[in-house]
Amino acid sequence: MSRQTKSALGRGLEALITMDDLNTGGSSSINEVELSKIEANPDQPRSVFDQEALEELAASIKSLGLVQPITLREIEPERYQIISGERRYRASKLADLTSVPAYIRKASDENIMEMALIENIQREDLNAIEIALAFQTLIDTHSLTQEKLSERIGKKRATIANFLRILKLPAEIQIGLKDKKIDMGHAKSLLSLEDPSTQLMVYEQILEYGFSVRRTEEIVRELNESGTIAEKPVAIAREKKKMPADYDLLKKHLASFLGVKVSLSCNEKGAGKISIAFANEAELEKIVQFFDSLKNNS
């Protein structure tokens, strides 16, 4: 990585999007741009926008205005596309603004996704799957090697390689990672298993029993050393027996009180979760009434 690139990384997006290797042109002062003239970037790497967080931001914008301008490029006269700030754009629409402050920059099509990716990574706005897909798209679109991509976005090549590998996991596991049911450490452990059905088996056990990354690594190691798939469930079966008898009794009591199925899981550190199932709205209402009664009697 060049010395210029390294120093730019410490200064955030404003430095990055004016670097020579991104081929961007100068910028103007802050402009007030009508929302009706702005469109989202179809290649935006971020695909998930939390509605509650957007509404909170919208409330803040209603009160204080949009403090940080969004960044746009002109795609035709009086038409603009978002380079960075789509979340702020969406929240501004929710806040019923008619225009927003914005920087207008010159950027080629090939640089837009790269710039959006850099901004989102620096703000930690992307989940692991979104990052992986964005890396793969940049590599495919611009015929980049992992090393070249590393130089352009300021991420280690090994980090890029790890993200790309998770795209080889079964779709169900990728969705779980995207929804933050597991984290990157779990995903990397599952990649050590070659058989997709075994990966899914361990993934389901992680969800059911709340296995830590370390425990998952131990299970994967046992499975890889066991030799055949037929022997693989043994390691997890032993783990299932570790649930204390008191916990099982508690689960039965809760199920009896609520009149619905209750699941309880616990990891080796004593942390866990309680899941309450309901078959329809009537059962859900019954559960809510039960907890309301406890609150009223407290």
Q: Are residues 9 and 119 in the same domain?
A: yes
pLDDT value of position 234? 44
Match 């995207």 to its residue by tokens: 178
User: How would you classify the pairing of strands 79-84 and 38-39?
Assistant: parallel
Q: Is residue 115 part of a domain?
A: yes
Compute the average pLDDT of residues 2-8: 41
Residue 170: per-residue pLDDT: 93
d(CA 140, CA 155): 18
Model pLDDT, residue 231? 42
Residue 141 lies in a domain: no
Q: Tell me if 287 is assigned to some domain.
A: yes
What pLDDT score was predicted for residue 13? 37
Tell whether the model's pLDDT for residue 14 goes beyond 70.
no
User: Please, is 266 exposed, middle or buried when counting C-beta atoms within 10 Å of its C-beta (0-12, 13-18, 19+)?
Assistant: middle
Which residue among 219, 240, 261 closes a domain?
Answer: 240
Contact 164, 146 (CB under 8 A): yes
pLDDT number for residue 7 = 39
This model's pTM is above 0.85: no
Q: Taking 70 as the threshold, does the pLDDT of residue 63 lie above it?
A: yes
Q: pLDDT band at residue 191, thresholds of 50, 70 and 90?
A: very high
Q: Which of 66, 150, 158 is nearest to 103 (CA)?
A: 66
Bigger pLDDT: 296 vs 17: 296
204-250 pLDDT tens trace: 989 988 888 998 998 888 888 765 444 444 445 444 445 566 677 77
Same-domain pairing of 71 and 95: yes
Q: Is residue 166 part of a domain?
A: no
Determine what percent of the chain is predicted with pLDDT higher than 70.
72
pLDDT of residue 62: 87
User: For residue 114, what pLDDT band results from cuts at 50, 70 and 90?
Assistant: low
The verdict on residue 116 lying in a domain is: yes
Domain count, the chain: 3
Question: Is 37 a residue whose pLDDT tops 90?
Answer: yes
Does residue 220 lie within any of the structural domains? yes
What CATH number has the domain bearing residue 13?
Answer: 3.90.1530.30
With cut-offs at 50, 70 and 90, classify the pLDDT of residue 15: very low
Judge if 77 and 11 occupy the same domain: yes
Share the mean pLDDT of the chain.
76
Find the range with the poorest average confidence among 38-47, 56-65, 158-167, 225-234: 225-234
For residues 228 and 37, the model is more confident at 37
Range of the domain at 213: 182-240
Task: For residue 77, tell me if it sits in a domain.
Answer: yes
- Using alpha carbons only, give the angle 94, 96, 97 rounded to the nearest 5 degrees: 115
> Going edge to edge, which strands form the sheet with 70-76?
31-34, 99-104, 70-76, 79-84, 38-39
How far lies 102's CA from each of 13, 150, 209, 269, in Å? 15, 29, 48, 49
Active-site residue set? 86
